[in-house]
Amino acid sequence: MPYDARVLLSGLYFGEAPRWHEGRLWLSDMHGHQVLKVDMNGHVEKVVEVPNQPSGLGWLPDGRLLIVSMIDRKLMRLDPVGLTVVADLSSMASYHCNDMVVNVNGDAYVGNFGSDWVGRLPDPANLILVKPDGKASIVAEGLQFPNGSVITPDGRTLILAETFGRQLTAFDINKDGTLTNRRVWADVSPAYPDGICLDSENAVWIPSAEDGGKRVLRIAEGGKVLDHIDFNQNTYACALGGEGRRTLFVLTADSSVPTIAKAKPTGRVVYVRVKIPGAGLP
């Protein structure tokens, strides 16, 4: 189907972790060191500053916001008094922490880079589970840049983007939050999937951040490409929200390389209306 893409917000340094919550799109401006929320009229509000770069976002059952603090490798919680450390993940994350998904119980699944990735393939990395009380444990190892992830509506499956693995990887979620039955959900090569979202037909929208990756793809389990949308910048993350969860928000920028991204705020939030609504978490 044809798509009419519109710009909701511009002037970001580098947007990540878009989430639709309480009638607004929330996101991290990673290199701008702040979490923002924006309504469908483009009115933007700063939620909080995160000095060590924010990435993944999610909410506890009581409504408090969880934020991944990347460089110091911590999971933070926004309390009425300000940011509080939930867990220090530096002993389990070998480099900067990154995206995250939080389930209905408040269990947070946090990925990390593995190692400095600019100009080289990163080292394999862990996926870390953080319970609401701050207890952390490794639930998957040997991942190629664990990045954006989603949880199916029944709460039983986690689908993870392995960016440098060029695949989506699925796990069964046990009652205690641990993960089993690791499997390839879809080979998405040559794309480098980043921030992803799930729709009600169990298809996943992924940004196609390959060389010149200025599109998002709708992928079925097994890897079949069901649809795509082209943009005029590189795409890095997407989320389904808005009325009926039929608005696909896409975060775009000229580059993800930190020195370039910080030099000029080229990042945008672009949106299109789609036929199939969003489902699951986030």
Q: Which domain holds residue 20?
A: 6-273
**What does the pLDDT look like over 235-257, one tens digit per residue?**
999 999 999 999 999 999 987 66
CA 116-122-128 angle, 5° bins: 90
- What is the pLDDT at residue 259? 58
258 or 12, which is more confident: 12
- Whether residue 280 lies inside any domain: the answer is no
Residue-wise pLDDT for 176-207, tens only, equals 999 999 999 999 999 999 999 999 999 999 99
Residue 94 resides in a domain: yes
Is residue 22, in this structure, part of any structural domain at all?
yes
Q: What is the CB neighbour count within 10 angstroms for residue 206? A: 28
Q: What is the pLDDT of residue 262?
A: 62
Q: What is the band of 122 on the pLDDT scale with cuts at 50, 70, 90?
A: confident
Query: Maximum Cα–Cα distance for the chain, whole Å?
Result: 47
| Within a domain: 262 | yes
Q: What is the mean pLDDT of residues 160-168?
A: 96
| pTM (2 d.p.) | 0.95
The number of folded domains in the chain is: 1
What CATH number corresponds to the domain at position 194?
Answer: 2.120.10.30
What is the C-alpha separation between 32 and 146, in angstroms, rounded? Answer: 22
Q: DSSP character for 121?
A: P
pLDDT for residue 257: 63
Any domain includes 282: no
